[in-house]
Amino acid sequence: MKKTVAVVLVLAAGLALAGPVVAQQDTLEKIKSSGVLTIGTRTGSPPFAYINKNNEWVGFTIDLVEMLVKPSVEKAVGKSIKVEKKESTPPTRIPLLTSNSVDLIAGTMTDTPQRRESVDFSLTFFYTGAQFLVKKGSPIKSINDIGGKRIAAQQGATNAKIIREKYPQAQLREFPDQPAAFQALLQGQVDAYTNDGIQLYGLKAKAPNPNDWDVVGDFYSEEPYGMAMRKGDTKFKAAVDAGLKNGFESGKYFEIYDKWFGPKGELPYPMTPPVKAYLLKQIGK
């Protein structure tokens, strides 16, 4: 009995020591030997990455990987490769990356200073920010009009924090999830619902009568989406960034954007001039 306990203890100690020492691998070497670029992406975030009606795993971010990142990585490893997709969610995506299960997170991940402490981000490939969803004709036109109004937000969201700290005149109501907050807006419990603009456009499109609703206001928070990589892998990051940069320069990126967010796209979300300027500024234009 004592022996068994000792063996278990030794094993446990061994595991505990071995755990963190997963070798820091050079991602490009790994892709070169396996011929596969594994990405972690979403299955239910249209139009970024989702399973469509024909049961295909598609989306804006997936197109960016296939059409811009893949050719650039192929050039760097000197051979043609395959892109493999794995499901990743907000709680699992960083562990998937650090455990080498995936090489690149390409979904809807916001690039934040806190996250930069554990992963590296590519160039920003999508830019959104907090706005308001209101009933058509509402007196709320921007964040300056929310004093005394009832504003719904999602619990724990960055925009709830901003409103609480900078606009205490507003009556903030926090709901655990988007459906509850939207229901409150539909019924008039609140005057506006605030979240990332792109999410609000998605909600509006799905609402029973999309034309009854308006997304208003300038972005009062910044939500730049980036692709995430293991920290410190500079060669791989350079290859990913080169692919995106090339897309911005050649205009290919804007074609892909138009395919998903243009007037005839999956979710019309016109790119405003400040956003375009922000994206191009990254490549020095």
Q: Kindly state whether residue 113 participates in binding another protein, applying the rule CB under 8 A.
A: no
Nearer to another protein, 151 or 216 (CB): 151
Q: Near another protein by CB under 8 A, which window of 6-14, 15-23, 99-107, 148-156?
A: 148-156
| Burial class for 137, CB neighbours closer than 10 Å (0-12, 13-18, 19+) | exposed
Q: Kindly state whether residue 190 participates in binding another protein, applying the rule CB under 8 A.
A: yes
Report the nearest approach of another protein to the CB of residue 189 (Å). 5
Cα–Cα–Cα angle for 266, 267, 272, rounded to 5 degrees: 130
The CA distance from 95 to 112, in Å, is: 17
Report the nearest approach of another protein to the CB of residue 158 (Å). 9
Among 174, 238, 258, 278, binds another protein (CB under 8 A): 174
Q: Kindly state whether residue 188 participates in binding another protein, applying the rule CB under 8 A.
A: yes
Q: Kindly state whether residue 187 participates in binding another protein, applying the rule CB under 8 A.
A: yes
The CA distance from 1 to 7, in Å, is: 10
- What region, left, alpha or beta, does residue 227 occupy, with left being phi > 0 and alpha being psi -120 to 50 degrees? beta
Among 81, 162, 180, 205, binds another protein (CB under 8 A): 180
75 sits in which H/E element: helix 70-77
Peptide bond into 90 cis (omega under 30): no
Residues lying near another protein in the complex (CB under 8 A) are found at 150, 152, 155-156, 161, 171, 173-176, 180, 183-184, 187-190
